[in-house]
């Protein structure tokens, strides 16, 4: 599996309703983009104060790095990029493959 996660800092003046619309559109790709198994998102929730101004994050799980690679130029993804990116001040996206021994369960 491949994890694709990101953090967003929305521009000043972007409303909570606009933020939720962005994430609802992103979640809607599950079941449309081949190999995209799940998507989770939420606002920063920690007293650590280490968010560096980023306010929201998401994690997508793909069945393989090949599916993630096919997702990047996919028209459904590009439609969401056109919707979300103009609302962002900054973003970071980071991908990694989940390998044997790299995860733990409680």
Helix residue ranges, H only, 16-102:
16-27, 65-71, 75-84
Domain assignment present for 44: no
Q: Is the pLDDT of residue 82 over 90?
A: yes
21 part of a folded domain:
yes
Q: What is the reported pLDDT for 99?
A: 82
pLDDT greater than 80 at residue 105:
no
pTM of the model: 0.89
What b/e string do you get for 23-38 counting C-beta neighbours within 10 Å, with b at 16 or more? beebbebeeebebbee
Helix (H, G, I), strand (E, B) or coil at 74: coil
| pLDDT above 70 (res 38) | yes
68 within domain boundaries: no
pLDDT in tens, 50-65: 889 999 999 999 999 9
Taking the mean position of all CA atoms in its chain, how far away is CA 1?
Answer: 15
Domain that holds residue 92: 16-36+74-97
Q: Is residue 52 part of a domain?
A: no
Residue 54 has what pLDDT?
A: 96
Percentage of the chain surpassing pLDDT 90? 89
Q: Which of the pair, 39 or 51, is modelled with greater confidence?
A: 39
**Cβ contacts of residue 80 below 8 Å, gap of 6+?**
22, 25, 26, 29
Count structural domains, the chain: 1
Q: What digits encode the pLDDT tens for the residues 1-33?
A: 999 999 999 999 999 999 999 999 999 999 999
In a domain? residue 26 = yes
How high is the pLDDT of residue 29? 98
């Amino acid at each position: 599996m491949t994890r694709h996660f990101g953090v967003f800092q929305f521009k000043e003046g972007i409303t909570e309703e606009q933020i939720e619309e962005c994430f609802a559109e992103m979640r809607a790709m599950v079941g449309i983009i081949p190999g995209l198994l799940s998507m989770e998102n939420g606002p920063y929730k920690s007293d650590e104060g280490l968010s560096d101004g980023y306010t929201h994050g998401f994690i997508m799980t793909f069945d393989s790095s090949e599916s993630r690679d096919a997702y990047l130029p996919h028209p459904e993804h590009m439609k969401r990029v056109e919707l979300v990116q103009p609302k962002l001040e900054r973003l970071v996206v980071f991908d990694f493959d989940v390998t044997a021994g790299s995860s733990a369960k409680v």
